[in-house]
Amino acid sequence: MKIIDIKTQDIRFPTSKDNLGTDAVHVDCDYSATYVTIFTDQKDLTGIGLTFTIGKGNDLCCTVIEYFKEFIIGKNVEEIEKDIASIWEKITNHSQLRWVGPQKGVTHLAAAAFFNAIWDLISKFHKKPLWRYIIELETRDLLDKLSFSYIDDVITKDEAAKIIDQKKTNLPSNLDDLNSTIFPAYTTAAGWLGYSDEKMKRLVEENLSKGWTHFKMKVGQDIERDIHRCKLVRELIGNKNKLMVDSNQIWSVNETIENIGKLKQFDILFYEEPTNPDDVLGFKKIKDAHPDVNLATGEMIQNKVMFKQFIEHKSLDYCQIDSCRIASINEILPVLLIASKFNTPVIPHAGGVGLCEYVQHLNLINKFIISNHELLLSEYAESCSEHFENPAIIKDGGYVTPTNPGYSVKIKDSSLNEFDYNNGTYWK
């Protein structure tokens, strides 16, 4: 069964008109996907992958993927599955493309979409949802498919194998029993910064009625308004439910230290992305100034090396891996393993096109074969879910376990035809 073609589409949804996704720095988001389809000589077997952007620049990711095609076209699916670690290294360390990286920015976003499509293809080939395909692999086989380059000073394959093998002893003899798992989530749907007080109040009340207990809201443009909004939401959800805030990198280190002091009164579970996402030492200064608060970051951390530094230096309390910012399963699982070694809880970022669909698999992999941390939580933002054939399903404030083969991000043909930025009916 061979790869015969790869198609890339620039898909953009006009979400800016409704202020969906707005925060302190991203004020006009058109939620977008660099959408990859891998075709095989078996018509009913394709691999689907994407990376998430917010409009302009999505086309750049599409362009970069054109350079990746030569690495798998003409190869058998079984060959790609066996050699996926080598293919990952060749693409992410391409002798010329790495000059506009390396392993960061547009080239890495493109690599995420490309390898997400490959993993989707492989798990469909085995007729399993991605999470189950991963947990059923022999430990050494799984680790040989991952990338430990530049992080083996913090975690080796032998250490990783011990973590996984120990966790696997807790798996049930019949893995079908795992299909009933509900993975706890928090909602961001009510907290976008562009929403009026009235809209936010209505959405919070709706989410409370649906059983949500954890709420995140955006802050950062004006501290007095932030205080007002936090007071409003805290009064609505009561003291038993959890509140988190996200300032999307807008504050300096000193501003963060000052503003956390003003927001502490609202009993914040964590402060997300308070400052520059690369500033490991800045985050540490914030932690030193406020040792009693929790910092969360990860959606803009560019690669596993940066995660290594944040986690090892205890500059974050919650690790928010993003399924499309770093380059797919090959890199995500090593980050989860580092987090497990340092007993750092993982709360994946999911505010974007297809991210909820992706993280439902990552949550289960982390829960079943990697993490020993008692805190289990993941973001749910309901971003453009109506466009997916098999969107993530929420029940009682948590993710229902996906059982369809693959990685769950196939967009409906009708949505592709409408929102393709180059040929879609909406953008003409």
Residues with a catalytic annotation lie at: 218, 349
Identify the H or E element spanning 184: strand 182-187
How far, in Å, are 25, 59, 117, 198, 217 from residue 35 at the CA level?
25, 10, 9, 35, 29
* Token pair 């392993």: residue: 103
105 Cα distance to chain centroid: 15
Contact 164, 377 (CB under 8 A): no
Scored b (16 or more CB within 10 A) or e, 253-279 reads beebbebbeebeebebbbbbbbbbbbb
> CB-based contacts of 114: which residues, under 8 Å, 6+ apart?
36, 49, 65, 68, 91, 328
Q: Judging by beta carbons within 10 Å of its beta carbon (0-12, 13-18, 19+), is residue 393 exposed, middle or buried?
A: middle
Q: Write out the DSSP string of 78-99.
A: HHHHHTHHHHHHHHHT-TTGGG
Characterize the bridge pairing of strands 398-400 and 394-395.
Answer: antiparallel
How far, in Å, are 82, 86, 355 from residue 146 at the CA level?
11, 9, 21
Contact 417, 424 (CB under 8 A): yes
Identify the H or E element spanning 373: none
* Token pair 């029993």: residue: 177
How many Cβ atoms are within 10 Å of 230's Cβ, its own excluded?
Answer: 20
Contact 319, 307 (CB under 8 A): yes
Q: Write out the DSSP string of 26-51.
A: --S---EEEEEEEEESSTT-EEEEEE
